[in-house]
Amino acid sequence: MQVLVLNSGSSSIKYRLFDDHANGLLLRARGLVERIGESTGRAEQVVVAQDGTTSKEADDAPITDHAAGFRWIVSRLESAGLADDLGAIGHRVVHGGSEFTAPTVIDEAVIARIEAQVPLAPLHNPANLTGIEVARQLRPDLTNVAVFDTAFHATLPPAAYRYAVPERLLTEQGVRRYGFHGTSHAYVARRATAALGRSEEECKLVTLHLGNGASAAAVDGGRSVETSMGLSPLEGLVMGTRSGDLDPAVIFHLIREAGMSPEEVERVLNRESGLLGLCGDNDLRTIEDRAAEGDETAQLALDVYVHRIRKYLGAYAAVLGRLDAVVFTAGVGENSDTLRAAICADLDVLGIRVAAERNDGQRAAKAPDGVVAIHAEDSEVAVLVVATDEEREIAEQTLLAIRT
Ligand code: AMP
């Protein structure tokens, strides 16, 4: 059977197709339909042959809506001979609220429950729902499964998920920490413990998902016990364009003193802050290049970014009570040796020592199994770089849901 994984955004659909093989999931195609609804659209697909060689095809033409995007995807998979045995679609859904703690086969009632989470994730869930609706309309023969970014963090204890606000805000408004990037944290935590040759049950890890969005998680015995994102993906680490932590009073100050509307404040904190707000760029490669050329604003942005991560690392070591490994993943974590070195510098207090010769130039995706150890021989804590694969995790969770 084949499993299609869809990640539907407001103007894009990312997808991957996996073959469920005796030896595990085989990636057969990946693609992206983007600028949906705009005057110029683009769609591309990379087909992965059995021997691992790839071939790419692309179309530059307007894509009117998500339905047109979905039709493009299915027709390209069919013409590549890859959709003969398509059995299920796994959908990434950002917010499951307290409702969803596991991958869930989608029916009308589930759609209504996902819709009920929209107030918690107005920037994300509507696009995920569009993808689900289009897939159900155009391919009613397939089983659709929702895999939630929040689900892995459903194991957070109350001390970690409660905000110190009146209980009615939790019961009536759902105000609590949910956490996101769950499929990535779960996947890299599992890969890391396997690479260490240890069981998940005995390991205490901090996983650092550092991409354009960024979050940290403390994972104890394979379960998430603390994470940096909260009610929404805005809390926590400094991100490409999101502020991460700030004093909530900043929001009232901006509304009262600067006359900004709540929507404007939301936009500034989500889209104009983070690295972009600090230095005018959000692509870390550009910022590192600027800093290397002596640009002080770019260096300050990196300093704030690194400082925040180190603060969380120390806090999560305290939460866990012992640290076995730190795991770096996602665009920045997997690729930037300089940031990994800066984050781990002078952390003897936590038993963390990175070996420069193991870290320099290291990229997880280039390693045969996507895992690289960068800690020094005498480091008490393992430091691993693990290539994340959220789509594979979603495909696995999708199969799990339809088989249970
Ligand atoms: P993601 O959201 O996981 O795709 O990560 C995107 C972020 O990873 C962007 O800020 C990129 O600049 C960063 N990134 C990707 N490749 C590299 C690299 N080689 N060195 C530093 N940062 C990188």
pLDDT single digits (tens) 129-161: 999 999 999 999 999 999 999 999 999 999 999
Atom of ligand 1 nearest to the CA of 284: 12
How far, in Å, is the centroid of ligand 1 from the Cα of 58? 23
Domains of the chain: 2-148 (3.30.420.40), 198-390 (3.30.420.40)
Going by pLDDT thresholds of 50, 70 and 90, the confidence category of residue 101 is very high
Atom of ligand 1 nearest to the CA of 287: 12
Which runs of E-coded beta strand occur in 119-262? 143-148, 204-210, 214-220, 223-227
pTM: 0.95
Going by pLDDT thresholds of 50, 70 and 90, the confidence category of residue 264 is very high
Percent of the chain with pLDDT over 70: 100
How far, in Å, is the centroid of ligand 1 from the Cα of 288? 11
Predicted confidence (pLDDT) at residue 366 exceeds the cutoff of 80: no
How far, in Å, is the centroid of ligand 1 from the Cα of 170? 35
Predicted confidence (pLDDT) at residue 364 exceeds the cutoff of 80: no
Helix spans in 99-225 (H): 108-115, 125-138, 158-161, 167-173, 182-196
Q: Whose CA is nearest to atom 4 of ligand 1?
A: 331
Atom of ligand 1 nearest to the CA of 209: 3
Rounded Cα distance between 307 and 309, Å, is 6
- Ligand 1 interacting residues, C-beta cut-off 6 A: 211-212, 240, 283-285, 330-332, 335-336
How far, in Å, is the centroid of ligand 1 from the Cα of 35? 21
β-bridge mates for residue 325, sequence order: 205, 382
pLDDT single digits (tens) 10-34: 999 999 999 998 888 999 999 999 9
Q: Are 220 and 322 in contact (CB under 8 A)?
A: no
* Residue type present at position 162: R
Percent of the chain with pLDDT over 90: 93
pLDDT single digits (tens) 289-306: 999 999 999 999 999 999
* CB within 8 Å of 11: residues ≥ 6 apart: 34, 35, 36, 37, 38
CA pseudo-torsion sign 357, 359, 363, 364: positive
Q: Which residues have a catalytic role annotated?
A: 149
